[in-house]
Amino acid sequence: MSAAILYSVVLVAVVTILGIPIGRYLARVFEGGRTFMTPLVRPIEALIYRVCGVSEQEEQSWQGYSVSLVLFTLVSIALLFLLQVAQKFLPLNPQHFGPVRWDTAINTAISFATNTNWQAYSGETTVSYLTQMLGLTVQNFVSAAAGIAACVAMVRGFSRKEAKTIGNFWVDLVRSTFYVLVPLAVILAVLLVSQGVVQNLRPYPTAHTLEGASQTIAVGPAASQIAIKQLGNNGGGFFNANSAHPFENPNWLTNFFEILAELLIPVALLFMFGIMVRDRRQGWTIYLAMLALFALGLWVALSAERTGNPMLSRLGVLAGQNMQGKEVRFGVLNSAFFGQVTTVTSTGAVNSMHDSMMPLTGMVYLFNMGIGEVIFGGVGAGLQGMFFYIVMTMFIAGLMIGRTPEYLGKKLGSPEMIMAVIGLLLPHFLLLGGAAIAVITKPGLAGPGNPGAHGLSEVLYAFCSAQGNNGSAFGGLSANTPFYNIALGLAMLFGRFATMVPAVAIGGYVAGRKTVPASAATFPSTGLLFVVLLVAVVLVVGALTFFPAFALGPVLEHLMLR
């Protein structure tokens, strides 16, 4: 466990050290300031605005911002669907793949346009190079950029006084893409290629084995897609095995880079928030609350995986760490750590099979996604989701001291509370309601590959992953069927809007409020007390919501092992 602690401390330290200057950079970008990237990117940015008829000076209300966000997502879904069904007739298809099946195409289009990247198909045998690059990789950039934009709009609401607008979605989208995601993705792609990650457009080569058989080896433009899948918290692997594939993640160094990339922008957004609201302690406070929740979940997961399966000991088999479903080159530590990071950041990338994790580890991953992936969270989505819990925390604190809840000098009224409750409860309804339908219908019951408690965990994980726009798969669930493709597609679509629109609305409401000076009765939103209260609210809400389902799934499976 000492090696795990050292590894965790080093990675968190590196993320924090890099996140602080990147947070400052993000604040300058979205406040319209000049950066070192301006001379290179500004001409491209201005050209896009001219071609698309976008005025940088024209800002939007929260309603207009939300409409732009929703329309952009729906148009992206339609275009990506058409690209998949027409790929047979398009270039850059050396394997001559046919059109993607209609329900798989719909699911994939929704998945990538909502920054989920749930994959019910095998990438190397289903989609062409053109679909990978023009469709999936482009959506990896712009869907992540849309999440950052929505987060920035919410933050602007708290930084403004008596304002009717919170920015321009199209401007924020372009700046997120070209000032933030593209430069970081280029750097990471070069680092991955240097370590052996494949990047080419050649047809698949055929190898002849010593036994005289032939084997087709899948290659392609992997490094470029992997870079943005990690940085943009997308997670959709170029290969079916995702980051467990040696062409995607060949060694411990690429594994470190990929974990670092998952956390980098979510952490930087916290520091950006503190700068934009002119109180850096606010960003640090939320960071510490998220870090405490992250450490708690990681401790449970590592402890469970190191203990292993007690049934093996009773059968006389030499027991030890649970290596089932894990790559030998990564081992238990890197596999469990990767799984913890991917489920707290809504990335969905995997370097091991989550289905083979110990039951308590699976429960941690389920909880991470179920609470809205607010522990660092996806690019923008984590901070948005945590704001719902912050509003709830300030409401509870206000009840304790007999005052109207305030946050950052803004009175929190009924509109903010309503939006926070919608943002918290509607995703939970999608998750539990979808899973309930799946386990009482014949098409739904045909999916789980295991009976009993573990089968329930497989279904719960699929809907947790879908509504949380995570995209990782538990494994063992046959999800590439019309029932699951449509059900999970709807969960992804409504799960995306159920959190982003309420968050933007909260930003719009508080932007129009006056700033109230702090008094002796104001509950402080910085310091250890607030961190403890915020963590407690997250844990209590999550426990009350998911305990019955978890009791019948991972908890029951854990007890059955003993």
Residue 311 tokens, joined? 């049934």
Q: Per-residue pLDDT averaged across 115-137, rounded?
A: 86
Residue range 379-401: average pLDDT? 87
Distance of CA 518 to the CA centre of its chain: 35
Least reliable range by pLDDT among 179-188, 232-241, 290-299: 232-241
- Where do we find the tokens 């998750």? 431
Q: Can you tell me the mean pLDDT for 71-98?
A: 93
What is the rounded radius of gyration, in angstroms, for the C-alpha atoms of the chain? 23
DSSP-assigned states of every residue in 356-390: GS-HHHHHHHHHHHHTTS-SS-STTHHHHHHHHHH
How confident is residue 524, by pLDDT bands cut at 50, 70 and 90?
A: confident
Q: Does residue 500 carry a pLDDT above 90?
A: yes
- pLDDT reported for residue 555: 93
Residue 317 has a pLDDT of 59
* Contact in structure between 120 and 485 (CB atoms under 8 Å): yes
Domain boundaries, the chain: 2-280
Q: Tell me the per-residue pLDDT of 297-321, one tens digit each, with 9 for 90 and over.
A: 999 999 898 888 887 767 665 567 8
pLDDT tier at 510 (50, 70, 90 boundaries)?
very high
Burial 75-89 (b: 16+ CB within 10 A, else e): ebbebbbebbbebee
- pLDDT-derived band at 120 (thresholds 50, 70, 90) equals confident
| Alpha-carbon span 534 to 61, nearest angstrom | 29
pLDDT at 114 over 80: yes
3-state secondary structure of 165: coil
The Cα-based distances of 152 to 18, 76, 273, 523 in angstroms read 20, 21, 8, 25
- Cβ–Cβ under 8 Å, residues 34 and 28: yes
- pLDDT category, 100, cuts 50, 70, 90? very high
- Using CA atoms, how far residue 216 sits from 87, 95, 219, in Å, is 21, 11, 10
Residue 243 is given by DSSP the state G
